Structure 1
Amino acid sequence: MPRMLTANVEQIRAMVASAEGLGVPRGSGMCRRALQSVAFVSEEKIATKMEYLKKTFRWSDAEVGIAVSKGPFVLKRSEDMLKRRSEFLISEVGLEPAYIAHRPCMLTYSLEGRLRPRYYVMRFLKENGLLDHGRHYYSMVLFSEKVFVEKFICPHKEAAPHLAEDYAAACKGEVPTRFRFT
């Protein structure tokens, strides 16, 4: 953030104090992201966003603290974006709020291009006995696109010959009939 170079020393100290107030220590790798998230943002706006996170994700104060310290970038996300991810992850996928709080990077991924299509694939594979039921959704979301396809699409070419095209369609926002679950 080039603008930080023109800030006075007191502003910089206030930003660092604000980042530390989020639970991000100065020496941590997340400190830079925390500074970017709080730079030139009032304490009131930060508090308002944290209250919104609590309400939207049904988090306790402690869970908001965990999520923000692990992923201060959530403070920069729009309320609409956060709401849509909350509705999907909690209501549709069925994740517990605390689970999401410990894995805030899920909130950075595209809902239409990554989160929803991979959920459809996971659910399809589990319902057809092609995936261990102990597999966690988060582990499927983390993989790069290439690795995801290699691990979860390609091995099932024979058992599910349309899986690759259904996944591609889901990534474009379509819901193939094989991905409609009752």
Structure 2
Amino acid sequence: MLHLRQRIFSHILSSSSTSTSAISPLHRLISAAVVPIFPSQGFAVGEYLVDNFLRALQRSSYLLSSDLDKVINPNVVFLRECGLGDCDIAKLCIRVPRMLTANPDRVRAMAAHAERLGVPRGSGMFMIALQAVAFLSEEKITAKVDYLKNTFSWSDAEVALALSKAPMLLRRSKDILQCRFEFLVSEVGLEPAYIAHRPVMLYYSLEERLKPRCYVLKFIKQNGLVNHDPSFSGALTRTEKDFMEMYICPHKEAAPHLAQDYATACKGEVPTNFRFT
């Protein structure tokens, strides 16, 4: 591992400009994103990010063989112009290793696709949108958009809104999305338009998140443990700790089995107390 790391930095340093003021964008990127201490190289970076960078290299060795001046550096410069910081670019590189080694014209085309999803450059969501459309053809993106419209009964405006808030829907399996959507409509009772405004709900696992939390909310409502209708979207997006503190712990005396039933439901089983008529 150490030998590979030394090779990485030797490659980077051997490409350095002779001018001390002209630091390559890639050099600054690696300095910000990778790196344990290498006394012989004269700089330090974080151990955790080196490991992640090496994972990216395992997926795409072209990171070390691609032309720095004609390919990688122009891509880094362009991504910066899109509002991404060095750490953002490093994360993108880890998730989509070919992003930096692709033809710069192709990277620009991907950025244009991301913008057409309704995610402007410079926004906090742009990196995610770029990841979502990376190396997807125009035809595949159009096909997925049509699928969302036809399967979820979303209008053009609703599809555009959903993708601007949750661009990774483009990467989710059609079958998985359909199962989650049908559960939200048939079991939770949500309207398609409501889901379009809160599309991140479709990111969550059906068995590990959607069903268990739905069952808990139904239980506390049907048993009169709350005097209002709890927001499912609000409950869904809470951390596990917050969900327990807000929806389960307050009822440990009235429903001492609730915590165990919830844990059981998270394993894919349906406790007797959660079998509603």
TM-score of the pair, normalised by structure 1: 0.97
Give the structure 2 partner of residue 119 of structure 1.
214
The unaligned stretches of length 5 or more in structure 2 are 1-95
Structure 2 residue corresponding to 1:156, chosen from 242, 247, 251: 251
Structure 2 residue corresponding to 1:143, chosen from 238, 243, 248: 238
Superposed CA offset, 1:134-167 (max 9, x none): 3210011011111111111111011111111111
Structure 2 residue corresponding to 1:172, chosen from 262, 267, 270: 267
- Cα distance in 1, alignment partners of residues 165 and 245 from structure 2: 29
Kindly indicate whether the alpha-carbon contact (under 8 Å) linking 1:46 and 1:75 is maintained by their aligned counterparts in 2.
Answer: yes
Equivalent pairs: percent with the same residue?
A: 66
Structure 1 residue corresponding to 2:161, chosen from 66, 88, 95: 66
Kindly indicate whether the alpha-carbon contact (under 8 Å) linking 2:235 and 2:243 is maintained by their aligned counterparts in 1.
Answer: yes
Give the structure 2 partner of residue 133 of structure 1.
228
Larger CA Rg, structure 1 vs 2: 2
Kindly indicate whether the alpha-carbon contact (under 8 Å) linking 1:122 and 1:131 is maintained by their aligned counterparts in 2.
Answer: no
Structure 2 residue corresponding to 1:75, chosen from 131, 148, 170: 170
Structure 1 residue corresponding to 2:134, chosen from 12, 23, 39: 39
Q: Does 1:55 align with 2:145?
A: no
RMSD over aligned CA atoms reads 0.9
Aligned residues: 182
Measure how far apart 1:132 and its partner are: 3.5
Which one-letter code corresponds to 1:33 in the other structure?
A: I
Which one-letter code corresponds to 2:146 in the other structure?
A: E
- Cα distance in 1, alignment partners of residues 264 and 187 from structure 2: 19
Measure how far apart 1:110 and its partner are: 1.1
Q: Does 1:94 align with 2:94?
A: no
Q: What SS does the corresponding residue of 1:45 show, helix, strand or coil?
A: helix
Give the structure 2 partner of residue 105 of structure 1.
200
Measure how far apart 1:56 and its partner are: 2.0
Superposed CA offset, 1:116-145 (max 9, x none): 000000000011111243321001101111
Superposed CA offset, 1:92-119 (max 9, x none): 1110111111111111111101110000
- Cα distance in 2, alignment partners of residues 24 and 107 from structure 1: 19
Measure how far apart 1:81 and its partner are: 0.7
Measure how far apart 1:45 and its partner are: 0.3
TM-score of the pair, normalised by structure 2: 0.64
Structure 2 residue corresponding to 1:4, chosen from 94, 99, 109: 99
Kindly indicate whether the alpha-carbon contact (under 8 Å) linking 1:56 and 1:86 is maintained by their aligned counterparts in 2.
Answer: no
- Cα distance in 1, alignment partners of residues 227 and 107 from structure 2: 49
Measure how far apart 1:19 and its partner are: 0.6
The unaligned stretches of length 5 or more in structure 1 are none
Q: What SS does the corresponding residue of 2:269 show, helix, strand or coil?
A: coil
